Structure 1
Amino acid sequence: MAAAPPQHGQWTTGLCGCFEDFTSCCCSCCCPCVPVGEVVNVLENGQTSCCEGGLIFCVLQSLTGLGCLYTCGYRKKLRMRFGLPANPCNDVLTDCCCLCCSIAQTHRELKNRNIDPSQGFIVAGGPTAPPTGQFMHKA
């Protein structure tokens, strides 16, 4: 029996649903710049690379402790894309109080909606190949 597709307007897991995807949980706690970068890349439609997103978060978090101000914007962007409620509270408060859990939840949410953040942003239809049969030559 196949799992039901995620409902628009409902989170697929709770904020503290870390054991539903232990990999995302561990990565969010031990090296949060990786899942943050992956989520940023997907939500920015490839306009920001995984490395850039992760680096911005890492610098903000390590120098000021305010990486939550960066991630809360992407939590909101994810919520808007899928019509998700601000549960358990608004995005800034969620990220400031439970940063690791919030990072894991946003990463998990993309995975549960069949968007693998580790693959980065993928254009619909996949990569395109160059045309065949074309060659350069001197005239």
Structure 2
Amino acid sequence: MYPPAAGSQEKHPSALHVQAPARGPWSTGLCDCCDDPGNCCLTCWCPCVTFGRIAEITDRGGTSCGASGALYSLIALLTGCGWIYSCLYRTKLRRQYSLLESPCSDCLVHFCCESCSLCQEYRELKNRGFDMVLGWHGSVERQAAGVTAPPAPQGGMMR
């Protein structure tokens, strides 16, 4: 095959670049746990429940909250490393919503502060309109019925 003629618009296949979708920031910061004190307390005392809810939504109902939470608990009890399992879901969640890997790698975030990372993921899904208590199927039914999530509260005192 001959090279393209001068002035030709033809490009070599290796010169074509596929642009990845733009990565956006998380809706809340890693240490914004005080924004949802109820979830913060639940996560501190029973992270398996928070993780189960995150996993059910992230898996789009493919796994139940109970099964995911039980597996997380089993891994945490047997190895002391439940963060290894939960960091996989952070990666999955980030990819689904094109979120930045910040403030550092997913595994490092979960290793250093498991509770904060679970709370951030929970808030992210909640801010995207999911009712975390209802789970995937309940949230989908609610949206199909035309019920939308209430608007996010504005910070600070207002008159």
TM-score computed with the length of structure 1 as normaliser? 0.81
Between the aligned partners of 1:124 and 1:93, the Cα distance in structure 2 is 31
User: Which string of whole-angstrom CA distances, capped at 9 and with x for unpartnered residues, describes residues 89-117 of structure 1?
Assistant: 00000001100100111011101111122
Counterpart in 2 of 1:65? 80
For 1:32-47, list aligned pairs within 5 A. Answer: 32-47=47-62
Corresponding residue for 2:150?
none
The alignment yields a C-alpha RMSD, in angstroms, of 1.9
Alignment of 1:1-139 (within 5 A): 9-122=24-137, 126=141
Amino acid at match of 1:22: P
CA displacement 1:27-75 (0-9 Å, x = unmatched): 1111001010011111111111100000010011111111011100110
Q: CA deviation at 1:123?
A: 7.4
Number of aligned residues:
121
Kindly name which structure, 1 or 2, has the bigger radius of gyration based on alpha carbons.
Answer: 2
Structure 1 range deviating more: 99-108 or 117-126: 117-126
The DSSP-based 3-state class of the residue aligned with 2:31 is: coil
Q: Could you list the runs of 5+ residues in structure 2 that have no partner in the other structure? A: 1-22, 145-159
Runs of 4+ in 1 over 4 A off after TM superposition: none
- Partners in 2 of 1:125 and 1:37 — Cα distance? 17
Q: Distance in 1 between matches of 2:29 and 2:114?
A: 14
Name the CA shift for 1:125/1:79 in 2 (closer, same or farther; >3 Å): closer
